[in-house]
Structure 1
Amino acid sequence: MKSRIIKIACMMQVGLLLLWAFSTGSPLKASAATVNEQFKVSSGVNYTDFRISESTRKQAVRVMEVNVNDPYTNVEVGVSSIMNKLKKTTTHALEHHYDGHLVVGAINASFFHLGAPINLVSQNNKLVHAGTISSSKDKYINEPIAFGMNSNGKGQIDHYDLSMNYVHNGKTYKITSTNKERSTNNTILYTPYFPSETTNTNEWGTEVVVTFPEAPTLEFGSQVTGTVEQVRNVGDKTKTIIPKNGVVISGNGKGSDQLKDVMVGDSITLSIDIDSKWKDSSFMVASGPMLVKDGRVSLSMNPNSSEAATRAPRTAVAINKTGDKVFFVTVDGRQSGYSTGMNLTEFANYLVSMGADRALNLDGGGSTTMAVRYPGTDTVRLANKPSDGVERTVSTILMAVSTAPKGEVRSITVKKSKEGKLNVGDSIKILPGTAVDTYYNPVKLSESDLSLEDVNKLGSVSGNTFTAKKPGKGTIKVKYGNVSTTVNIEIADNSTSSFKDVSNSFWGKTEIEELVKKGIITGYPDGTFKPNNTISRGETAVMLTRTLKLDTSNVKDPGFKDVSKSDMYYKEIAAAANAGLIKGREKDKFVSNGKLSRAEMAVLIQRAFKLPYENNKYFSDVPSSHYAYQSINSIAKLNITEGYPDGTYRPNNSITRAEFSVFLTRALK
C-alpha cells in the first residue's frame, strides 16, 4: 500500500516537475528516458529513477539533483576515520547522520586500492590523501581532476595543481604523494592518518622522522616547521614509527639521495598548497576521467581503451554551469533484461542530454551505489541494484545533507488493514503510513493521531475502524490536524454466495468469489469450499495451472516417484512442474498431500507471476539465509502479504484454502 501511495503522489507531481525541470536544466530533460519513480527527498533535493528502453538493451538510471542554493542543503564528502577501512555507502551515510545533519542521499565516490582512496581527497581546505595519477591515457585517472565544493559554496569540477614540498638547509624538494606504498625514486609523506603505526617500508630507502609542536593539519597554503627526531638510513630494516605529532618523510632512489644529508636535530619545513580556484574549498575528491566539459562530451582518457569501452555499471557527479546544482548519477549494469550498463562515451552522452555542464566519472562496476531517503523514512537505503547482488564496501562517498529544522506536517499517507472489496459487515482499520513536514523531514504517526470521516455514509466509524453497512463506492477522509488525505472503499453487493460455508461476512469471500468467476476454484461436490482447511500441494498445483491457463493436454512426466499418471492431479502437477513453478519437496517426491507452507506459497506466487526479487527485509523472523527470503520480501513489497501484527511472517505455518485464494487474487491484480 505504501509504495502505491508514494507512486500515485509522485505521478501527480510529474507534470509540474517536468515543466520546472526544463526551466532549470534538471536531468528530466533526458527525452529518451521514462520516469519509473520520482519524489522530493528534502527541501533542496529531488530524486528520479529513469528507465531507458532501446532496441537492443535496457538501462536503469538514477539521478539525485541537489540544489546547493537551498539554505538547508549541502553536498559533503564522507571519509572513513581509518584510511583503509572500507564501508558500505549506506553505512558511511549512517555514521554522518545525526540531528540537524540528515544524510538524505549518497553515492560511492573514490576509486580505491587495498582499502584506501587511490586519488586526492581533502576536507575543510586540508589534505587528507594526495593519491597518484597514471601516465597512461588508457587509465581512468591520468589527469589531476577533482569534484568539490569551492569557497563560494558552489559545485566545481576542474583540474587542480597540488604542491607538496619539504625544505631542508634552504633547498626545496618535491614530495611525490602521501600515505601510500613507496616505489622507485619516490618521496612519500606518512602522516598519522596512515592506517598502520609504522611506514611498513623495506630497507631500500631513507626515512626521516619529523615532529612538530602539535600534529600537522596539512592545510592548503600552510607551512609548518619541525625538528628531525630520527633518521633511518638505507639498509636498516627497523620499522619506522609514525609519530602522532609528526610525519615520516620516506625516500627511495632519487628521493633517498635528497635525504642523505639530513641529521637529527635539523629543521625541516613542510609546505602544502593548491591552486587558487580550489583554495578554501570544503572538500575535494579527485577521480576521472572527465566526461563532460562546457556542456559537451569531453573524455580525458582513450575512449577505445578496454576500461572506457566496456558496458558496465557507472557512477558520476555532474554540475550545471553555475555550480548551484549538483547531480549524483548512477546507471546499473551487467544485468540483462534490466540494465546492461554503459560505456563511458554513452554515459557522457547521457549526461549531456540531461543538461550537465561538467561531469566527472567516479568508481563504477560493483561499487556503483545510489542511496536515498524515501518519503517518511529517517535514513537512506539502497535504491539501485548493484551488479554484485549486494552493496559493496567503498572508501569514500558523496552525500546530500539536509540541515533543515523540524516544521509543520505538510502531507500524510495511510493504508488500509485489508485491500480489495469489502462485504457488508466487514470492518477495516485505517492505519498510519508516512508523514513529512514542511522540509520533508519524516514525522511519526500513531493511530490515535488520525480522525476518520465516512464521506458517502456507507458505514460507521469508530476510532480508526470503518465498518461497511451497505453496498457502494465511497471515500473515507482521514485527517491529522489540518492535513488530510482520502482512502477509496468499495463494498460488494454479495447477497448470495457460491458456497454454503462462505458467508457474506467471511473475510475472504470477495476474493473467493472472484476466483469462482474466473473458473479457478469450484469447491467440493457437497457445495462447500472448506475455507479454513489447509491447502495441499496438489490443490495448489491445480489452482496455479488454471490461473495461468497452462496446457494440460500434452504434458511431460515430471519424474516424481509418488505421482502416477492415474492420480487425480497428475496433469496439473506435471504442467506446473514443466513450467518451472513447482519442485519436489523430498528427493524425487512431490508429496501431493503435503500441507503448503507460507514460505512455499511466497515462492510459488513469485515464480508464477515473475515478480522481481526483493532484498529489503520486511519480517523479523525471515533471515537473509532463508531459502524464500527474496520471494517473501517480493510479495510483501507488492502488498500481496502483510504478515502478522507482531511483524513476523511465520514462514513454516501452513496456509488455508481461503488464505491462498486471497494471496492469489492479490497477485492477479
Structure 2
Amino acid sequence: MSLKKPHFISLKTNFIIKFTAALTALFVFSAPFCTYADVLGTLTSQQATQFAQGTVFYTSTFEDASVGQQTEHYVAYTPNSDVVPILTNGASIYGKRTLTQANSYLNDYGIYSAMGMNADFFSFQTGVPMSNVVIDGRIVSKDSDWRPAIGFREDGSAFMGMLPIATTITTEAGSATIECINKYRQPYALYLYTKDFADNTHAPGTGINVVLGSLSGDITLNSSITAVVEAISEDDGSVPIPDDKLILSVDSSASQELKDRLNILQPGMTVTINTSEATGDARWNTAKYALGCLGGKLITNGQLDYEDESAAPRSAIGIRADGTVIFYTIDGRQSGYSYGVRKETLARRLLELGCVEAMNLDGGGSTSIGGVLPGTTDFTIMNSPSDGGLRSCANFFFLKKNNAPSGIPYVLNLSDWGKPVLSGSSIQLRIESAYDSSYGPAQVPSDAVFYLEQDAMTPSPDGVGTGVYENGYVTVRGNGDVYVAAKSGDAYGSTMLRAVATPDEIKIYNASTGEEVQELVMNPGDTIALSATAYWGGQAMVVDNSSFTWRVVSNDDSVGNITDDGFFTTSDQNGASGIVAVNAGLCTREIPVRIRETGEMPPPEYYPLIQGEIGENSFTARLTSQNGTISANEIHLTIDGTPATYQYDATSGILTYLYPENFDENYHRITLIVTDTAGASALAAFDLGNVSQNKNKFPDTVGHWADSYISYMAEHQVVNGSDDGMFHPNSSMTRTEFAIMLCNYLKINPEDYADTTLPFIDAGDIPWWAVNYVKAIYSLGIMQGQLNDYGVAFCPNDNIQRLEYAISVERLLPSGLATAPITATDEADIPFWGKESMKIATAQGILNGYPDGTLRPRQSVTRAEAVKILFTIFGAGK
C-alpha cells in the first residue's frame, strides 16, 4: 500500500484547508471573503470535513436580505478507486425506507458508506421510483418516458444525458413492447417484474400474468436474453415473483390492444427479451449505475436549463468540468435556519459551484444527506429535514468505501495546519488522531517519526534551515511554507506551517485578564503583567517569548521600567508619560503610558469587573478591581428591585447570594452595583430564568417586542395601564407619566412631598393627581424642569426625549461609572450640558444608537421604550 500525498483545496481566501484526512476546519468569513457566495446571499460560515478519500463534506450558511439564513450541505466527490458511487433501493423496489435504514441495509451486506443522500421522486403510496434505475448494470426499474439521467461508471466518473429505454419481447409469432419494468401496475401499460421489485407484484385487481423461466441472463442496457414461457393465468390481485423468474403482467381492465400483445405467447415457447438505450448514446454502455430524474435538468453544457418552481428544501446532483460530482442539498421551511430555494436559485448555485451539468432530485421533506464522520463508524444525518425527521423515500445515492474498516493506521492527522510561525520560533507538533484506509477509527501509532518534507522557499538570513526532531518538535526558519510529515509503516500524514520573518501586527494584552491593552493609565508604583501576540494573515502566530523585545520610552520624567518578560512598573512621578513598545522581527507595537495625577479617575478598563454566574441554588459573582479594593459596604445587590442579603469574602472577591427556601420559579432580575476605594463603579444585571416567562398584562402588548419587559415591570408595580385597560406601548410617554413611573420605580410615597413648592411657571398645568409625583421627583433632583424665555417650566404634557431620559437615569445611578466617547454621527445635536449623561447612558448600554449611526437625542421615547430602558437598570437607584 503506497503512501498518499495531501490534497489542498483553496477557498478563494487567505485560508487553505488540509484534506489529507478528516481534519475539520471552521471558518467564519466576513464580507470581503464572499466573492463567490452571491447566489444565496452573504457567506457567513463554512465548514469542510473530509469523510473519505476524495470525499469532502461542506456545510455553509448564508445571510440573505430577503429570506434570512440559508443552510446548505453538499459533498464534493473526486472519482477514485477507494470510494465509488452506488445507487440502492434497499431490499426492494416496492416500499419505502429512510436514509439511515438504507445505510443499514448496505451494512448488512458488508457495504460501508462515506456519504448518502435521497435520490429520485417516487410514489407516496407504493414507494416505487418514478424514473429509470440501473444498479450493478441491471435495469431494476424503468418507465416509458424520456427523462434526463445520471450515469456512474465503475471508476466513479459520471455523466448526464437522456436515458429512454426500449424493451420488447419477441417470438416467432411476432414481438410486443414492454413499457415498464418493476413499476406499480396500472391499466395503461405492459409490465415486466423481476425479483428486484418485491416478493410479489403487489398488483391491484385482476390481471393476466405470464411466468417466464430458464433465463439466460440479466436485463441490462442494450441486452438480449432468452426465457421460456412456463405459465399464463388470470389472477385476482398480487402474484408471487419466484426466484430466477420473471412475471409479465397486464391489468384485465387495460385496452384490448395491450391484452392482445400476450397472444404471441404460449406455454413452453422460448422468447427473447431485447432492451436498448433508445438514443444510441454509447456512454450508457459504460454505466454501472444510472438514475433518471422526474425533477428535470438544471444545467446543460454549462448553461442554465430549468423549469422554475416555488422555494422549498432541495436536493440535486451536479458534475463539474473536471469530473468532480456535487451531491447537493439545501434545507428549507425552517425560519431562522434555512428558507429554501426555487429551482432557478438552485441551478444558479450549482453553476456557481462550477457544475456544467446538473439535475434536480426529489426535494421538500425528502431532502436528506448524511455520512460517517471520520474516525467513527456511525452514519449521521447532517442536514435538518423539514418534516422534523427523516422521510421514507424510494432510492438513495451512496458513496461506498472499497476499503473495509481494519483499525490499522493509514492516515495520520497532524496538528497546527497552516499555523504561522515566526522564523526562529519553535512549535511542538502532534498526531491528533489516526484513521484506517476506510477513514474509520485507528490507534495513533507510538512509533511515528516526524521529518521535514519541504522547507521554506526563502531561507533565513543566516542560511540555517528548519529543524525537525523525530518527536515533532520543530524550529521553523525562513519565509514561506514549510511541510512536515510523519509516518509509521504505511501510515502517513503531513501538515504545513507558514514561516514568517515579520508579523503583520502585534497586540499587547493584560496577562492577568486577557484583555487587549490600547493604552496604560496607572497609579504611581503600580505593576502590570503584559503579554504580546503576533498576527499574520489574521491568525495568531507562534512566537517564542524570547523573540519579543520589550522597551519603555519616557517623554520627560521616567514613566517606569519593563522586564524582558513584560512586567511593567510605573515610577513615582505623577503625570509622567511615555510609551511601552514591543517588537518581533521588523514589526513594532507601541502603546501610550501615563501616570495619573492625584485624584484622577481611571480609564474604563480599570473600572471594577463583575463576573456573575446563575446557579441552581445560588447566585455568585467574582468582583475585581485593578484600581483599588472593593469592600462589603460598597456593594448594592437587589432582587427584583428589592435589596437582598448576601455573603462576601473581600479576600477572594467572591459574593454569594443564596436563594430563599420559598423562592418561586418565576423570572427574577438580579442587579449588582459595586464601587472600589478609588471611587470607580460598575453596574451589572443578571437574569434568573427567562424574562418571557412573565405573563402578559395588557391586551395590546401581545406579540409586541417589549411585551415581556412591560409585563415584568407591571408585575412589580412600576408601570400601569390606561383607564381602557390597554398599555398603548407605541404611544409617546409624557413628562408627567415619566415622573410617575420614576416614583413607582423608586418606591416613593408621593404624599411625603406634598408640602414641596414647585418653582415651575406652568405648575398649574400639572394634573392634580400627578402634582405630588412631580414634587417628589423634583425634590430628589431627578427632574429639574426646562428653562425658557419666561422662566423654568415643567412642560407636563410634552413627550419625554431620549436626552432628557438619559439625564434623569444618570441621576439615579451611582457616581464613578465608566463613560465612553460618543461616536454617533449626530453628536453635535447633543447640548454640552447633556453630553456627560449621554456618555454614561451609552457606555452602560442603557441607550443604544440606531443602525444609521445616530443617537437622535431629541426623539420622543415611546412607553415601551421607556419601560425597556428602566428595566435595564432595574434595582439601581440612589
**Same fold at TM > 0.5:** yes
2:115 corresponds to which letter in structure 1? Answer: G
Cα pair 2:409 2:437 within 8 Å, conserved: yes
2:143 is aligned to 131
Alpha-carbon distance, 1:221 to partner: 3.2
Alpha-carbon distance, 1:443 to partner: 2.9
Summarize the alignment of residues 5-404 of structure 1 with structure 2, pairs less than 5 Å apart.
Answer: 15-17=15-17, 29-31=36-38, 32-34=41-43, 35-58=45-68, 59-68=70-79, 70-97=80-107, 102-113=112-123, 114-131=126-143, 133=145, 143-150=146-153, 153-198=156-201, 200-203=203-206, 206-212=208-214, 217-232=218-233, 237=236, 240-251=239-250, 252-253=254-255, 254-274=257-277, 275=280, 276-287=282-293, 288-299=295-306, 303=307, 308-323=308-323, 325-404=324-403
Alpha-carbon distance, 1:126 to partner: 0.8
1:547 is aligned to 686
Alpha-carbon distance, 1:145 to partner: 1.3
Task: Give the direction of change, closer, same or farther, for the CA distance of 1:131–1:407 in structure 2 (3 Å limit).
Answer: farther
1:138 is aligned to none
Between Structure 1 and Structure 2, whose CA radius of gyration is higher?
A: 2
Q: Which runs of 5+ in 2 are unaligned?
A: 1-9, 21-33, 417-429, 448-470, 473-510, 515-529, 532-541, 543-607, 625-629, 649-654, 672-683, 700-711, 721-726, 728-878
Residues of 2 paired with 1:199 and 1:184: CA distance?
14
Cα pair 1:315 1:361 within 8 Å, conserved: yes
Alpha-carbon distance, 1:411 to partner: 2.9
Q: Secondary structure at the match of 1:173?
A: strand
Alpha-carbon distance, 1:371 to partner: 0.9
Cα pair 2:620 2:656 within 8 Å, conserved: no
Q: Secondary structure at the match of 1:96?
A: helix
1:613 is aligned to none
2:214 corresponds to which letter in structure 1? Answer: F
1:334-367, Cα deviation, whole Å (9 max, x unpaired) = 1233222111111111111111010011100000
Task: Give the direction of change, closer, same or farther, for the CA distance of 1:438–1:121 in structure 2 (3 Å limit).
Answer: same
Cα pair 1:112 1:118 within 8 Å, conserved: yes
1:292 corresponds to which letter in structure 2? Answer: I
1:558-602, Cα deviation, whole Å (9 max, x unpaired) = 99xxxxxxx999639999xx9xxxxxxxxxxxxxxxxxxxxxxxx
Match of 1:513 among 619, 622, 626: 622
Alpha-carbon distance, 1:100 to partner: 8.5
- Pick which of 510-519 and 155-164 moved more: 510-519
**Higher share in strand:** 2
Cα pair 1:228 1:267 within 8 Å, conserved: yes
Give the TM-score normalised by structure 2: 0.46
Give the CA RMSD over aligned residues: 5.1
Alpha-carbon distance, 1:313 to partner: 0.6
Residues of 1 paired with 2:356 and 2:262: CA distance?
45
Cα pair 1:330 1:370 within 8 Å, conserved: yes
1:571 is aligned to 716
Q: Secondary structure at the match of 1:91?
A: helix
Higher relative contact order (CA 8 A, sep 6+): 1
Alpha-carbon distance, 1:290 to partner: 0.7
1:524-563, Cα deviation, whole Å (9 max, x unpaired) = 34547267998944486335994359999x996599xxxx
2:400 corresponds to which letter in structure 1? Answer: V
Q: Secondary structure at the match of 2:344?
A: helix
Residues of 1 paired with 2:620 and 2:241: CA distance?
71
Residues of 2 paired with 1:327 and 1:55: CA distance?
27
1:259-290, Cα deviation, whole Å (9 max, x unpaired) = 12422222222122334311141201111311
Residues of 2 paired with 1:438 and 1:510: CA distance?
49
2:435 is aligned to 437
Alpha-carbon distance, 1:108 to partner: 0.6
Residues of 2 paired with 1:443 and 1:19: CA distance?
17
Task: Give the direction of change, closer, same or farther, for the CA distance of 1:194–1:173 in structure 2 (3 Å limit).
Answer: same
Residues of 2 paired with 1:375 and 1:199: CA distance?
41
Residues of 1 paired with 2:637 and 2:301: CA distance?
63
Residues of 2 paired with 1:100 and 1:245: CA distance?
23
2:46 corresponds to which letter in structure 1? Answer: N
Q: Secondary structure at the match of 2:102?
A: helix
Q: Secondary structure at the match of 2:716?
A: helix
Task: Give the direction of change, closer, same or farther, for the CA distance of 1:102–1:184 in structure 2 (3 Å limit).
Answer: closer
Residues of 2 paired with 1:185 and 1:75: CA distance?
34
Alpha-carbon distance, 1:194 to partner: 2.5
1:250 corresponds to which letter in structure 2? Answer: S
Q: Which runs of 5+ in 1 are unaligned?
A: 1-9, 21-26, 134-142, 415-431, 454-469, 476-485, 487-496, 560-566, 579-669
2:73 corresponds to which letter in structure 1? Answer: R
Cα pair 1:556 1:574 within 8 Å, conserved: no
Cα pair 1:375 1:434 within 8 Å, conserved: no
Task: Give the direction of change, closer, same or farther, for the CA distance of 1:377–1:11 in structure 2 (3 Å limit).
Answer: farther
Alpha-carbon distance, 1:442 to partner: 4.1
Alpha-carbon distance, 1:391 to partner: 1.5
1:64 corresponds to which letter in structure 2? Answer: V
Residues of 2 paired with 1:264 and 1:344: CA distance?
51
1:417-454, Cα deviation, whole Å (9 max, x unpaired) = xxxxxxxxxxxxxxx998343768243679x99xx99x
Cα pair 2:128 2:184 within 8 Å, conserved: no
- How many residues are aligned here? 473
Residues of 1 paired with 2:636 and 2:119: CA distance?
53
Summarize the alignment of residues 534-613 of structure 1 with structure 2, pairs less than 5 Å apart.
Answer: 536-538=663-665, 541-543=668-670, 546-547=685-686, 557=697, 571=716
Cα pair 1:79 1:397 within 8 Å, conserved: yes
Instruction: Among all aligned residue pairs of Structure 1 and Structure 2, give the percentage whose two residues are the same amino acid.
Output: 19
Match of 1:529 among 647, 653, 656: 656
1:491-537, Cα deviation, whole Å (9 max, x unpaired) = xxxxxx999xx9xxx9x999742799997989734547267998944
1:96-121, Cα deviation, whole Å (9 max, x unpaired) = 24898541221110211111212111
Cα pair 2:215 2:228 within 8 Å, conserved: no
Q: Secondary structure at the match of 2:668?
A: helix
- Pick which of 355-364 and 108-117 moved more: 108-117
Cα pair 2:71 2:338 within 8 Å, conserved: yes
Task: Give the direction of change, closer, same or farther, for the CA distance of 1:534–1:145 in structure 2 (3 Å limit).
Answer: farther
Task: Give the direction of change, closer, same or farther, for the CA distance of 1:338–1:190 in structure 2 (3 Å limit).
Answer: same
Cα pair 2:318 2:359 within 8 Å, conserved: yes
1:361-420, Cα deviation, whole Å (9 max, x unpaired) = 110000001213334332331111111111212121111233357434623799xxxxxx
Residues of 1 paired with 2:147 and 2:691: CA distance?
64
1:123 corresponds to which letter in structure 2? Answer: I
Give the TM-score normalised by structure 1: 0.60
Residues of 1 paired with 2:436 and 2:143: CA distance?
42
Cα pair 1:211 1:245 within 8 Å, conserved: yes
Alpha-carbon distance, 1:178 to partner: 1.4
Cα pair 2:200 2:238 within 8 Å, conserved: no
Alpha-carbon distance, 1:161 to partner: 3.1
Residues of 2 paired with 1:394 and 1:154: CA distance?
25
1:137 is aligned to none
1:78-105, Cα deviation, whole Å (9 max, x unpaired) = 2211222322213322432489854122
